[in-house]
C-alpha cells in the first residue's frame, strides 16, 4: 500500500541552524501538508500546499518557515533559523483531493530536537 515517507526520522540541531525536513507524498496525491506536534500537545496544522503554492498557513508558519516541492516527488519544510521551541515531531501528510471524504495520509514523522 502506498505511504508517505519522511526523512530523516530524527534530527538534532543547534539553535540558529537551518534544517530541511523531507517528505515524499503518495505519488498520485495533489495536496500536501505539514503539521507538528510538540511533546505532549496537540497536533497542529502548519501549512497546506497545492499546485506549487501555499494555500493556507497557520500563525506558527512565520517567515522562518518555507515549503518547496523541488521536483515531482519531494516536498520539503525548511526552518531557516531554528529556535528551542521548534523542537517537535513534524508530520507530512498528503491527500488525493479536497472533497469532504478525502483522507489525509500521514508520514511517520521527523523528530526535531533543537539544542
Partner 1 sequence: SQQGEEDPQALSIQEGENATMNCSYKTSINNLQWYRQNSGRGLVHLILIRSNEREKHSGRLRVTLDTSKKSSSLLITASRAADTASYFCATEGGYTGGGNKLTFGTGTQLKVEL
Retrieve residue 108's grid coordinates. 511517520
Q: Which of 78, 80, 83, 98 binds partner 1 (CB under 8 A)?
A: 98
Give strand ranges (E) for 8-51: 10-13, 19-24, 31-37, 43-50
Residues 6+ apart with CB under 8 A from 89: 36, 37, 39, 109, 110, 111, 112
Q: Which of 32, 67, 77, 88 binds partner 1 (CB under 8 A)?
A: 32
Contact between 45 and partner 1 by CB under 8 A: the answer reads: yes
| 12-20, 62-70, 80-88, 92-100 -> range binding partner 1 (CB under 8 A) | 92-100
Burial (Cβ within 10 Å: 0-12, 13-18, ≥19) of residue 32: buried
Contact between 87 and partner 1 by CB under 8 A: the answer reads: no
Residues contacting partner 1: total by CB under 8 A: 32
10 vs 81 by CB, closer to partner 1: 10
Contact between 82 and partner 1 by CB under 8 A: the answer reads: no
Contact between 75 and partner 1 by CB under 8 A: the answer reads: no
Residues 6+ apart with CB under 8 A from 42: none
Residues in contact with partner 1 by CB under 8 A are 31-33, 35, 42-45, 48-51, 53, 55-56, 58, 89, 91, 93, 95, 98, 100-109, 111
Amino acid at each position: 500500500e502506498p505511504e508517505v515517507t519522511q526523512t530523516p526520522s530524527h534530527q538534532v540541531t543547534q539553535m540558529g541552524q537551518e534544517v530541511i525536513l523531507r517528505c515524499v507524498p503518495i505519488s498520485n496525491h495533489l495536496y500536501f501538508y505539514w503539521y507538528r506536534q510538540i511533546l505532549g500537545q496537540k497536533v497542529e496544522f502548519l501549512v497546506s500546499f497545492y499546485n506549487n503554492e501555499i494555500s493556507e498557513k497557520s500563525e506558527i508558519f512565520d517567515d522562518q518557515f518555507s515549503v518547496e516541492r523541488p521536483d515531482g516527488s519531494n516536498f520539503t519544510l525548511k526552518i531557516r533559523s531554528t529556535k528551542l521551541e521548534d523542537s517537535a515531531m513534524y508530520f507530512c501528510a498528503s491527500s488525493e483531493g479536497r472533497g469532504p471524504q478525502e483522507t489525509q495520509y500521514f508520514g511517520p514523522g521527523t523528530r526535531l530536537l533543537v539544542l
